[in-house]
Chains A and B, each alone.
Chain A
Amino acid sequence: MSGWGRKVVGYLGAVAAILVFWQLGALALDSRALPGPVPALAAFFSAFGSELAPHLAVSTWRVVAATALGTVLAVPLGLVLGRSPRADAVAAPLIFLTYPIPKVVFLPVLLVILGLGDASKIVLITLIVFFQLLVTARDAARAIPAGSVLSVRSLGAGRLDVFRHVVVPASLPDIFTALRIGTGTAVAVLFLAESIGGTTGLGYYIVDAWGRLAYDAMFAGILGMALLGVVIYELLEIAEARLCRWTRVER
Chain B
Amino acid sequence: MAGLVAEAVSLTYTGVGRDTVALDRLDLNVADGEPVAVIGPSGCGKSTLLLLASGLLQPDSGTLRVGGARVAGPRLATALILQDFGLLPWKTVLHNAALGLEVRRVPRAERRERVMTSLARVGLAEFVDSYPGELSGGMRQRLAVARALALDADLLLMDEPLSALDALTREDLQDLLLELWRQRRHTCVLVTHSIEEAVFLGRRVIVLSPRPGRVASVVDNPRMGEPGYRSTPEFYERCAELRTLLAEEGAVGGLVDRETGLVEAGEHR
A interface, CB within 8 angstroms of B: 145, 147-148, 150-157, 161, 165-166, 169-170, 172, 244-246, 249-251
Q: Is B84 engaged at the interface, CB distance under 8 Å to the other chain? A: yes
- Measured between alpha carbons, how far is A169 from B132 in the docked complex, in Å? 14
A-B CB contact pairs (8 Å), 12 listed: A147-B83, A150-B80, A152-B88, A154-B74, A154-B80, A156-B76, A156-B104, A165-B88, A169-B90, A169-B91, A249-B134, A251-B133
With A153-B56, A154-B74, A156-B74: A148-B134 Cβ-Cβ less than 8 Å: no
Q: Which of B63-83 contact A (CB under 8 A)?
A: 74, 76, 78-80, 82-83
Number of A-B pairs whose CB atoms are under 8 Å? 75
Majority secondary structure, B binding face: loop
Among A145, A161, A249, the one with the most B-chain Cβ atoms within 10 Å of its Cβ is A249
- Measured between alpha carbons, how far is A156 from B19 in the docked complex, in Å? 29
How far apart are A103's CB and chain B's nearest CB, in angstroms?
32
- Measured between alpha carbons, how far is A155 from B80 in the docked complex, in Å? 8
Majority secondary structure, A binding face: helix
B interface, CB within 8 angstroms of A: 51, 54-56, 74, 76, 78-80, 82-91, 99-100, 102-104, 130-131, 133-134, 147, 151
Contacts of A245 in B (CB 8 A): 131
With A166-B88, A169-B90: A151-B80 Cβ-Cβ less than 8 Å: yes
Find out whether the CB atom of A154 lies under 8 angstroms from the CB atom of B76: no
Find out whether the CB atom of A246 lies under 8 angstroms from the CB atom of B133: yes
With A155-B104, A156-B100, A157-B103: A250-B90 Cβ-Cβ less than 8 Å: no
Contacts of B131 in A (CB 8 A): 245-246, 249
Partner of A155, one of B84, B85, B103: B103
- Measured between alpha carbons, how far is A147 from B86 in the docked complex, in Å? 6
Find out whether the CB atom of A246 lies under 8 angstroms from the CB atom of B80: no
Contacts of B103 in A (CB 8 A): 152, 155-157, 161, 165
Q: Closest residue of chain A to B54, judged by CB?
A: A154
- Measured between alpha carbons, how far is A153 from B76 in the docked complex, in Å? 11
- Measured between alpha carbons, how far is A150 from B54 in the docked complex, in Å? 10
Contacts of B90 in A (CB 8 A): 169-170, 172, 244, 246
